[in-house]
Every structure is written in C-alpha cells, then in structure tokens.
Amino acid sequence: MSLPMTDPLTLAGLLCSRLCHDLVGPVGAVVNGVELLADADEDDDELRDQSIALIGESAAELSARLRFFRLAFGAVHDDGAITVDELAGLVAPVMQGRRIALAIEGGRDGVPRARARLAALMALAAADCLPRGGRMVLVFEGDLPRIRVSGDRFALPASHAAALADAGAEPEARTAPLALVLHLAAPLGRRLVAAADEAGVDFRLV
C-alpha cells in the first residue's frame, strides 16, 4: 500500500519542501542573532552576549538538523552499519528540540545504514504525534525499526492516518517522510503501519 504519489519528482519536491520547512527556524534565528549583534552598542555587553548565545545555540541546532537530514533524506551508498550510539547522536538532538526524549533498544551489534535511514524517517513522522513533547522508544526487531511514542495529548495526525491507509489523501510536505518510508520498504516486501491506543502510537513495518 502506498501514498498517492508515484511521480519521483513530486516526492523529491515534497521532501525538499519539508527540508526547507524544518531548517528555516534555526536559520532565521541565526539571522536574528546577527542582526541583534550588529545593532548592539559597543558598550552593551549584555545584548552582545545574548546575541552571541543565540547565534551559537541556533547554529548548533541547525548543524544537528542537517546531520539528521543527511541520514534521513540522503542516499545510502554502502551496506555498512552504524552503531546505536551513532544513531542516537543523530536522532536524539532533533527530537530534543521537539521536547521528545529518545530511547533505543536492540541493535547493539550495529544497524545497517539502510535500516538506520528508515528509523530516522519513521522517527520524523512519529514525532508529529507529540505536539507537546513526550517519549519515543526506537526498537530494532532483528534489523527492522519499530517506534513507540507517548506523551501529553499524543495523537496520530489525520494526514498521517489517511496517507498510510491510502485513502486518496493529497500529497503534502508533512507526510513526505511517510511516502519515502513506503517507497523504501516496498522492495523489502514491507509496508508501514501506525496504530494508536490509550497509551501511545506505534509505527512498525509489517
């Protein structure tokens, strides 16, 4: 089952839109910090310190997001593996920016890069279920990722549910990571499903 988007150019455009949407915040914050620094009087040490701190924090957030998106949206050129700690180092900072605590179970012998990419994309989609933050548990069952999220007012967005159900939902940037998961999972004979219960939302490949 797949999203109603079969044109690779459409999917590429939606992924670019999602990428720009998620990067514009920290980029804008860096610009604001530079403008504040430029406007600060030479003797206004407090404002200068605040500006430098804003630039530093925003640049760090931007760097974390770029590293994450390189894994999630970038090409996988080899069949090598990355460690769980490396994967956590890429995913956790982005989730932390959305007030989501990440835990990873399994995969201690290393995670194939292609599976790590699936995990990153699934994490991006699953985070949309936690508008107020919460907890995300990434579990590797064999080498396939499964994600469970829980938190205050968690919910599976209607756009995500419709996309996964192939209910004729219009393609949009928000669901582009789901579309890419479906495209990548199809050659494996798998599809992505999401189910919500009273405790949280579960994303898995079946």
Kindly list the averaged pLDDT for each block of 10 residues, start to end, along the chain of length 206.
61 95 96 93 91 96 97 86 96 97 94 96 98 98 94 96 77 91 92 96 97
**Count of structural domains within the chain:** 1
Q: Report the DSSP pairing between strands 134-141 and 192-196.
A: unpaired
Tokens found for residue 57: 């924090």
What span, in angstroms and rounded, lies between the C-alpha atoms of 55 and 35?
10
Helix, strand, coil proportions of the chain in percent (round to 5)? 55, 15, 30
Query: CA dihedral in degrees (127, 129, 130, 134; nearest 10)?
Result: -80
Nearest Cα neighbor of 16 from 128, 158, 180 is: 180
- Give pLDDT, residue 168: 56
In this predicted structure, what is the pLDDT of residue 170? 72
- Interatomic CA distance for residues 201 and 158, integer angstroms: 13
Radius of gyration of the chain (CA): 19
Quickly tell me which residue has 């999602």 as its tokens: 18
Q: Return the pLDDT at 43.
A: 86
**Which pLDDT score is estimated for 7?**
77
Whether the Cβ atoms of residue 73 and residue 90 lie closer than 8 Å to each other: no
The CATH number that applies at residue 171 is 3.30.565.10
Look up the domain containing 45 and give its range: 1-206
pTM of the model: 0.90
Q: Are 178 and 164 in contact (CB under 8 A)?
A: yes
* Cα separations in angstroms, 191 against 41, 151, 170: 58, 25, 19
What is the distance between the alpha carbons of residues 22 and 68, in angstroms, rounded to a whole number? Answer: 11
pLDDT of residue 3: 44
Largest CA-CA distance found in the chain, in angstroms, rounded: 65
